[in-house]
Every structure is written in structure tokens, then in C-alpha cells.
């Protein structure tokens, strides 16, 4: 049987259960690990995150979660491992970085595609490094990311290779493809909503991955539904064999609380399902369980990712999908069966 690689070991895919493909147990920004205001006590954070996750697992059957926190964004393998042990959740960590405008430390900007490939490969096969120390805790997927920062959202300028993807991002995407060829792991991506106004950032990522021989059938393009521009752009992604991630459900991101967003996403999903792409959709939040900057408030809209509850998908969004003709079997396909196929690390 195929297996996923979690922070507590390799697990057969039939033990995955309902899977969230893009979440964050702990989330900060590069540099936050040096700031007094965002310091935390590991055991307190583990207790708080575990309590919330376990309640969600008990109520809604979540079994597996991909922690999409990149290496330079406070990724803490030990925290993930302790939460997994305490809750029984399958937690998949990722190897990878933020977009270049927000992350990719200088250390990594100096590295070649081969060196970066080796970084991903060692994260996946030997274990991740935290604050200079080898942890032995392995990543189980790769994250790639492109686009601008969120303080002044704007489309990305044209990059050096005729795409709106910049030189270090380009290098990391090529390395991700090469590491995927060695490990047969999943690649999960961050695209920027604003970039859909000037290009199709999902397709741009897929083009580079394809140039390096990646298996697009094991690629999830994230945030492609966040600011829907019409079904054509999303269809262009699934036509190439990749999966699109329906995310930010219940979380307004670069929206002013647009209540029509759920309806618009559900409508696009219906169109894709009618065209035969049910196997190429997954559903998740992109929420964070704990942000050491403080709790979510209306005054801190950047913290709203923490404000949506783990029940929102099943209590609010799934009923909307049912209204559009989706069955419970369809939801099972998108939240259990598709993640099994995508997240299994097929070299295991």
C-alpha cells in the first residue's frame, strides 16, 4: 500500500481520513523567531494547538493535515511532532520557502539548482534542520511559492525569464521538480491572487515544473480560487493534469469580507465537476492554529486566518455544495480520495 511521510513516520494512505491540504500549525513571518513580541513557550503552544486540532478531529473526522509553513516562516519540526503525538493526527511537513519578496533567505539565494535540489531531498529523506540542529523529523511534500507581499498587494512585475516569476523562485521551482523526480512526492504551491489579473501564475509554475520533468499529476496549485476570475484560468491548470486547491474557505484574504466568495467558489467547483474534473480538486482552509503575534481580531484583519473555526467547511460550505448537486461521495472524493493519491510519497 502507498504511504505518506508524516512527522511521526510513514503511514499507509488508508489511515489518512479527511485531509486538509494547506494549513499552518504555527505561522509567523521571516524574522519573527528573533522578536520578543512573537516569542513563545513550546509546550504552551503545543497544548493550545493540540486542543483545537483534537476537537476538530473528534467533531469532523479530520485525520491528516499538511502544515504548509515554509522553512523560514517559523517552521518548527519539534512542535509539529509533539502535536501529532498528542492528537494522533497525521501531520505532513513541507520543505520549501516563501515567495522571494517575502522570504528565501540570502543563504539560499546563493545556491545552485543542484544544491537546492539536495536541500529538499535531505529534508524529505534525512529530516529538517531547525535553528542549526538536525531534527531527524522528515518533510513529506515540497512547497513552492511565487508572487508579491501582502502589505501593498500588486501584480508581480515581469521576471527575467518572460514570466512573472523571479530568479530565485524560478531556481527553487526547478529544484522542486528535480527533488520530486527522486522522491515521487507531492508539490503544493502558493500562487498570488493579484497575479491572476495579469497572467496565470498557476500555469507559469507548471510550465517550469514541466521543463524539469515533474509529474504534474502530483502537483496541487494553491489559491487558484481565492479571487475568482472565471473558470478559464482554473481550467487551464487542470487541463495540464494538476489539481486545484479550493482554499481560504471562510477566510477573506484581500477581500473586504465578501460574502459572495463562498458562492462564487462553489459555482466554479460545479462547473469544473460538470466538465469531469472532480478528481482534480481538494478543499482546505489555509488557517493558522497559532500565530505568536496575537489573537485574531477585526482590528488585525491579517490575523483572520485564525478566526474561522475548523467546522466551517462541514457546517457552512458543504451544505452550499450540496445545493449545487454535490453528494457526500463527492465531498469524500475531494477530501479523502484525491489527497491520498496526491500526497502519497510513491518512492516509499
| Residue numbers at the binding site for Zn ion (CB under 5 A) | 68, 286
> Among residues 215 and 286, whose Cβ is nearest to Zn ion?
286
DSSP classification of residue 2: -
Residue 77 or 99 with smaller CB distance to Zn ion? 99
Smallest separation (angstroms) from Zn ion to the CB of 201: 15
Residue 13 or 53 having the CB closest to Zn ion: 53
What is the distance of C-alpha 245 from the center of its chain?
Answer: 9
The C-alpha atoms of residue 286 and residue 288 are separated, in whole angstroms, by 7
List, in sequence order, every residue forming a beta bridge with 62; answer none if it has no partner: 18
Q: Give every CB contact of residue 153 below 8 A, 6+ residues apart in sequence.
A: 193, 194, 254
- Which CB sits closer to Zn ion, 227 or 286? 286
Shortest Cβ 209–Zn ion spacing (Å): 19
**How many whole angstroms from its chain centre is CA 139?**
13
Task: Kindly state the smallest distance separating residue 116's Cβ from Zn ion, in Å.
Answer: 21
Comparing every residue's Cβ against Zn ion, the nearest one is: 286
> What is the per-residue DSSP string for 286-348?
--EEE-TT---BTTBGGGGGGTS-TTHIIIIIHHHHHHTT--HHHHHIIIIIHHHHHH--TT-
Q: Minimum CB separation from Zn ion for residue 115, in Å?
A: 26
Q: Is the CB of 169 or the CB of 286 nearer to Zn ion?
A: 286
Q: Nearer to Zn ion by C-beta: 3 or 223?
A: 223
| Cβ closest to Zn ion, residue 26 vs residue 137 | 26
Shortest distance (Å) from residue 97 CB to Zn ion: 13
Q: Are 77 and 6 in contact (CB under 8 A)?
A: no
Give the contacts of 151 (CB within 8 A, at least 6 positions apart).
Answer: none
Give the end-to-end CA distance of the chain in Å, rounded to a whole number: 9
Minimal distance, residue 190 CB to Zn ion, in Å: 6
Q: Which of 282, 191, 201 is closest to 236 using CA atoms?
A: 201
- Strand-pairing partners, residue 144, are 189
For 208, the enclosing helix (H) or strand (E) is helix 201-211
DSSP letters spanning 126-184? T--EETTEE--PPP-EEEEE-S--SSS--PPPP-TTSSS--HHHHHHHHHHHHHHHHH-
* Closer by beta carbon to Zn ion, 144 or else 273: 144
Q: For the CB of residue 49, give the shortest distance to Zn ion in the complex, in Å.
A: 16
Q: CB neighbours (10 Å) of residue 109?
A: 13
In the complex, least distance from residue 98 CB atom to Zn ion, rounded to whole angstroms: 10
From the CB of 22, what's the least distance to Zn ion, in Å? 5
Decide whether 287 or 333 has the Cβ nearer to Zn ion. 287
Amino acid at each position: 500500500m502507498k504511504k505518506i511521510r508524516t512527522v511521526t513516520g510513514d503511514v499507509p494512505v488508508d489511515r489518512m481520513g479527511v485531509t486538509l491540504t494547506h494549513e499552518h500549525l504555527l505561522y509567523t513571518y521571516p524574522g519573527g523567531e528573533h522578536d520578543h513580541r512573537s516569542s513563545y513557550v513550546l509546550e504552551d503552544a503545543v497544548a493550545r494547538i493540540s486542543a483545537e486540532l483534537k476537537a476538530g478531529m473528534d467533531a469532523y473526522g479530520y485525520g491528516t493535515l499538511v502544515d504548509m509553513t515554509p522553512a523560514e516562516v517559523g517552521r518548527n519540526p519539534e512542535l509539529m511532532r509533539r502535536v501529532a503525538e498528542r492528537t494522533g493526527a497525521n501531520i505532513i511537513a513541507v520543505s520549501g520557502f516563501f515567495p522571494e519578496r517575502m522570504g528565501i533567505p540570502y543563504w539560499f539565494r546563493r545556491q545552485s539548482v543542484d544544491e537546492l535540489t539536495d536541500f529538499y531531498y535531505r529534508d524529505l529523506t534525512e529530516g529538517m534542520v531547525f535553528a542549526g540542529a538536525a531534527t531527524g523529523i522528515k518533510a513529506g511534500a515540497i512547497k513552492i511559492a511565487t508572487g508579491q507581499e501582502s502589505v501593498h498587494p500588486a501584480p508581480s512585475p515581469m521576471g527575467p525569464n518572460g514570466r512573472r516569476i523571479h530568479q530565485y523562485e524560478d531556481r527553487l521551482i526547478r529544484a522542486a521538480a528535480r527533488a520530486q523526480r527522486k522522491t515521487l512526492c507531492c508539490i503544493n504551491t502558493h500562487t498570488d491572487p493579484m497575479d491572476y489579473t495579469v497572467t496565470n501564475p498557476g500555469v507559469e509554475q507548471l510550465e517550469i515544473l514541466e521543463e524539469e520533468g515533474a509529474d504534474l499529476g502530483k502537483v496541487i496549485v494553491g489559491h487558484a480560487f481565492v479571487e475568482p476570475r472565471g473558470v478559464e484560468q482554473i481550467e487551464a491548470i487542470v487541463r495540464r493534469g494538476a489539481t486545484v486547491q479550493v482554499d481560504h474557505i471562510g477566510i477573506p484574504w484581500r477581500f473586504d469580507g465578501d460574502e459572495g466568495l463562498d458562492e462564487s467558489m462553489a459555482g466554479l467547483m460545479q462547473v469544473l465537476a460538470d466538465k469531469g474534473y472532480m478528481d482534480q480538486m481538494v478543499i482546505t482552509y489555509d488557517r493558522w492554529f497559532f500565530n505568536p503575534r496575537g489573537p485574531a481580531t477585526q482590528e488585525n484583519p491579517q490575523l483572520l486566518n485564525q478566526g474561522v473555526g475548523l467546522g466551517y467547511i462541514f457546517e457552512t460550505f458543504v451544505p452550499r455544495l450540496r445545493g449545487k448537486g454535490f453528494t457526500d461521495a463527492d465531498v469524500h472524493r475531494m477530501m479523502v480520495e484525491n489527497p491520498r493519491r496526491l500526497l502519497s510519497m510513491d518512492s516509499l
